[in-house]
Amino acid sequence: MLKALRFYGWPLLVGLLLALLIIQRYPQWVGLPSQDVNLRQAPRYGIAQEGPVSYAEAVGLAAPAVANLYTTKVVSKSGHPLLDDPTFRRFFGDNLPKQRRMESSLGSAVIMSPEGYLLTNNHVTAGADQIIVALKDGRETLARVIGSDPETDLAVLKIDLKNLPAITLGRSDQINIGDVTLAIGNPFGVGQTVTMGIISATGRNQLGLNTYEDFIQTDAAINPGNSGGALVDAHGNLIGINTAIFSKSGGSQGIGFAIPVKLATEVMKAIIENGQVIRGWLGIEVQPLTPELAESFGLGSHSGILVAGIYRNGPAQKAGLLPGDLILTIDGEAAIDGRRSMNQVARAKPGEKVAIGVLRGGETLELIAEIGVRPPQSNE
């Protein structure tokens, strides 16, 4: 017996080891999942997911299309506090000597097309006398402002250089919370910098930053100088224009906001074609219907937006709307959120007629209003 074990033992052991090696190398031969299984399917098989060890390829695609901005403007200031004294000015009037000093600021911009159109933030370029664009390849040139839109905090610049590296556009309407994102810009003027994070939220509004808000929130570090820079996905595609941070210290605290590329490109196209963004307007001020307001107006369980004020001779007044009316629908769409409803009006073309469902004095009315042109907001 012992002799038989010695005779057959080694071949059996070698065969077993060989079988284990084959199973490890070709697990699918015995019905086990392959080791190179798609990472999207990994949780199904109990395999830990691992992200890429580098985003160098994404950065290499996007970074050349992100430029540094250096803006300067001349500011006049009285030479001595005494010159600002009302009594002193009463005798000498406004013909007083003033000092002129140069103020400079930093920012970023994204090259959107080979023709030289750039997107940045309006607050970066507003009031600037000179805008210098510095590209990653070392070239520098002066830029001119094609137009701006303070209500979304966007501005379009134009430079005249050849062989410009335009960024690849992504789909901001297909992003998900948790997606990896990279912020590229010129923070604090140290030079182009890349930071990484995830998308923390989408559709952020009511922040009081812009008139029209639909922000992407990210925890990728965004600091002063990043404004106007690129927020890109893990493949280097542009998904947003970095615009603001929430901070009590002035530095990044993990809450940054970017304007979605879909909105940004719509604004850019309108500015290039018309010199401005033309938006629809009804000429009303609205406020949400709170339970307390509903009770005071005797509206019960109705939902809608309350007309708080009406501009004289505006489209709403001409249509017959009155303060205190409860708007139930606009063009067939339920009016539940005031900001969303006003954005719906803004997207309508001037001259277009919309039906407005109103509750007034317990009666339901339908008024027809002709969309007007929203007055431009001051750039100051």
pLDDT by residue (tens digit) across 193-228? Answer: 999 999 999 888 777 677 777 889 999 988 888 899
Same structural domain for residues 155 and 188? no
The last residue of one of the domains, among 217, 244, 274, is: 274
Same structural domain for residues 222 and 270? yes
Q: What CATH number is attached to the domain comprising 217?
A: 2.40.10.10
| b/e sequence 61-96, b meaning 16+ C-beta within 10 Å | bbbbbbbbbbbebeeeeeeeeeeeeeeeeeeeeeee
Q: Is 129 a catalytic residue?
A: no
Same structural domain for residues 252 and 321? no
Same structural domain for residues 258 and 208? yes
Residue 48: inside a domain: no
pLDDT of residue 165: 95
The last residue of one of the domains, among 274, 295, 319, is: 274
pLDDT of residue 300: 66
Same structural domain for residues 155 and 60? yes
What is the DSSP secondary-structure string of 262-331? Answer: HHHHHHHHHHHHHSS---EE--EEEEE--HHHHHHTT-TT---EEEEEE-TTSHHHHHT--TT-EEEEET
Same structural domain for residues 239 and 294? no
Residue 139: inside a domain: yes
Same structural domain for residues 255 and 346? no
Residue 21 sits at φ, ψ, to 5 deg, of -65, -40
Active-site hit among 108, 123, 325, 341:
123
pLDDT of residue 92: 52
- Residues in the chain predicted with pLDDT less than 50, given as ranges, are 37-49, 380
Q: Is 303 a catalytic residue?
A: no
Same structural domain for residues 322 and 260? no
pLDDT of residue 95: 57
The H or E element that residue 145 is part of is strand 144-149
Residue 26: inside a domain: no
pLDDT of residue 254: 73
pLDDT of residue 299: 66
Residue 369: inside a domain: yes
pLDDT of residue 380: 45
Active-site hit among 108, 148, 153, 200:
153
pLDDT of residue 46: 44
Same structural domain for residues 143 and 194? no
Q: Is 302 a catalytic residue?
A: no
Q: What CATH number is attached to the domain comprising 287?
A: 2.30.42.10
Residue 127: inside a domain: yes
Range of the domain at 200: 179-274
> Is this model's pTM higher than 0.75 or not?
no
Same structural domain for residues 313 and 267? no
The last residue of one of the domains, among 131, 159, 187, is: 159
pLDDT of residue 161: 94
Same structural domain for residues 270 and 293? no
Number of CB atoms found within 10 A of residue 109's CB: 31
Rounded to whole angstroms, how far apart are CA atoms 91 and 99?
20
Q: How many domains does the chain have?
A: 3
Same structural domain for residues 235 and 322? no
Q: What is the dihedral of CA 308, 310, 316, 318, to 10 degrees?
A: 140
Residue 368: inside a domain: yes
Residue 147: inside a domain: yes
Active-site hit among 108, 148, 172, 227:
227
pLDDT of residue 148: 93
The tokens 């339920």 sit on which residue? 334
Spell out the residues 6+ positions from residue 84 whose beta carbon is closer than 8 angstroms to its own.
Answer: 78
Whether the CA torsion 54, 59, 61, 62 is positive or negative: it is positive
Residue 30: inside a domain: no
pLDDT of residue 224: 84
pLDDT of residue 249: 60
